[in-house]
Amino acid sequence: MFVKATGTGVLTYEVPSLHVTVTTTGPLRHHVMNTLSRSPRVFALAPGPAPAVPSSWRWISFADVRFAVPTSWPLTRTDTFIPGCGPTPTTLLAQGGMATLDTDKHIAFTACPFLPAQQATEPVSGVVVDSGFTDFFGSLPGRCLPLRLASARGISICEDSALPYSVLMLKVTVPGRAKPVIVSIGLAGNGMVARTILYSLTSLSGASG
Predicted model pTM? 0.77
Share of the chain above pLDDT 70, in %: 70
Q: Is the pLDDT of residue 152 over 80?
A: no
The phi, psi pair for 132, rounded to 5°, reads -125, -55
- Dist CA 69 CA 75 (whole Å): 10
Contact 13, 158 (CB under 8 A): no
Residue 209 is predicted with a pLDDT of 47
pLDDT at 144: 61
Tell me what the mean pLDDT of segment 120-147 comes to: 68
H helices within 2-147, ranges in order?
29-33, 40-45, 91-95
CA nearest 44: which of 157, 152, 141?
157
Is the model's pLDDT at 125 over the cut of 80? Answer: yes
> Which tens digits make up the pLDDT trace of 35-93?
776 788 888 888 888 899 999 999 999 999 999 999 999 999 988 777 766 556 666 67
Please determine, for residue 23, whether its predicted confidence score (pLDDT) is greater than 60: yes
Q: Are 80 and 107 within 8 A, CB to CB?
A: yes
Q: Please give the angle made by the CA atoms of 170, 171 and 173, to the nearest 5 degrees.
A: 140
